Structure 1
Amino acid sequence: MSIINSESGTNVHEVSDGIYRINTPVVIQGGGGFSFNQYLIVDDEPLLFHTGPRRMFPLVREAIQSILPVERLRYIAFSHVESDECGSLNEWLAVAPQSMPLCGTVAAMVSIEDLADRAPRAIADGEMISLGTHRVRWFDAPHLPHAWECGFLTEERTRTLLCGDLFTQGGRDLPALTETDILGPSEAFRHEMDYFSHTKNADMMLERLAATEPTTLACMHGSAWHGDGAKVLRALADALSA
């Protein structure tokens, strides 16, 4: 892991081949710690998944610049419309002239076609986009864990699931990549915050993700995880239906 900004603690770690986790730890109001992660896929057409909050843009830009020139970015992607997902979207579009927002069709229709300074590339459920050696596929997942427009990307070559707010873990001093339990800590966080939507279709959507057999779970908050991702996703489905 490389520390990019010693003041903020922003750091970079390669969690899969050509996929980098950019992490900024924070102290939240009332005490305790939290973290914000973005994921950069380095390829012929680089993709950033999650922008980070707007005020975090200088830190994330500095981290990405340590890996590749930010103007090379082609896709600015995110799971759903929320500040930590796409709060600095227009800042990224400004510094990367060839880039475009990449989001699900619902997000494009209800929000991004109006909010973004450049037209989005709406990606349909099950659609695949080649970035060069990496290939990403979009899965619609409405209300999982929240937001009508929610969805996830899988990177097929490395079997990495960019899983957004699934498996959110509290804390600010967590390892970049772990093989230890993340379901227990994320379930404790979910029960405390109740940020899941209680959709009746969660088990079906989680099974679709599990069927991709991911070996890396790229979480937006907390550690990324390596192992049998299908098993962990099915365990989450069981927990949600309990």
Structure 2
Amino acid sequence: MNTSVHEIADGVYRLSTCVPDVVPGGFTFNQYLIDAEEPLLFHTGPRRMFPLVADAVGRVIDVSRLRWISFGHVEADECGAMNEWLAAAPEARVMFNRLGCLVSVEDLADRPPEPVDDGARLDLGGHVVRTIATPHVPHGWEAQVLHDETTDTLLCGDLFTRTGDGPALVHDTDLIGPALEAEDLFGATALTTSTAPTLRDLADLEPRTLALMHGPAFVGDSAGALRDLADAYEARVTRAVAS
């Protein structure tokens, strides 16, 4: 395996590793590095993948410069290597929503995390990121996304998960079909009455780029893709209730 590095927005880098034996065709695990005065890494990768991802980060910045670590929810591929990153970057801290810090991160992290409120903005110096809590969307009580308001990039975690490998960045392609196929395969999304409204709230941000954790970054009608995904999930909830 190797980890590729591509700049998908100004100062935003996609670090991607395709693991071939998860499903036929492979499955990508992506992290996103925002190169700013205070660099931020979104997703840490699993603990055993740390050497690969650290090498990839090192192609963009000195790893010891890393200042902030965040992720979508508490799960191995999202935050498994959290403490390895804290050891490699002595000034780094984990930034996460207050609920997630309370129920998990305060105990799991080797250094106290920085709890933030829903909607809080952090100026990284050159990029401003906003933390948005999305409980149970796509899964996890403590789920969240980050919006890089400077480049209009939504770091959207497990939303739009798809299988296979491919280009780092795609334009105006279908995200919904592959996402629903992956949902049929994994059953990973918490489909509740709040799922669609949460996705529509994210669509109202009108992001330019969607930074997927499992799949390519997407540039195009991102708001439309979020609304289409909301409609598809809402239809599944409606069918389940009717049956």
| TM-score (normalizing by structure 2) | 0.94
> What's the CA shift for 1:29?
4.5
For the residue of structure 1 that corresponds to 2:131, the secondary structure is strand
For the residue of structure 2 that corresponds to 1:220, the secondary structure is coil
| Equivalence for 1:170 | 163
Residues 102-181 of structure 1: matches in 2 within 5 Å? 102-172=95-165, 174-179=166-171, 180-181=173-174
Q: List alignment gaps of at least 5 residues for structure 1.
A: 1-7
Give the paired residue count: 234
Alignment counterpart, residue 216 of structure 1, candidates 209, 212, 221: 209
RMSD of the alignment, in Å? 1.0
| Equivalence for 1:46 | 39
Cα distance in 2 for partners of 1:40, 1:162 equals 10
Identity of aligned residues (%): 52
For the residue of structure 1 that corresponds to 2:91, the secondary structure is coil
| Equivalence for 1:65 | 58
Task: For 1:164, give the aligned amino acid.
Answer: G
Cα distance in 2 for partners of 1:30, 1:161 equals 26
Task: For 1:176, give the aligned amino acid.
Answer: A
Alignment counterpart, residue 79 of structure 2, candidates 86, 109, 116: 86
Deviations 1:136-173 (A, max 9, x none): 0011100001000001000001100000000011002x
Deviations 1:194-216 (A, max 9, x none): 11111211122112211110010
Task: For 1:142, give the aligned amino acid.
Answer: P
| Equivalence for 1:233 | 226
For the residue of structure 1 that corresponds to 2:45, the secondary structure is coil
For the residue of structure 1 that corresponds to 2:218, the secondary structure is strand
Q: List alignment gaps of at least 5 residues for structure 2.
A: 236-243
Cα distance in 2 for partners of 1:193, 1:25 equals 17
Cα distance in 1 for partners of 2:22, 2:146 equals 31
| Equivalence for 1:184 | 177
Deviations 1:11-70 (A, max 9, x none): 100000000000011112564310100000000000000000000000000000010000
| Equivalence for 1:22 | 15
Task: For 1:181, give the aligned amino acid.
Answer: D
Cα distance in 2 for partners of 1:33, 1:131 equals 34
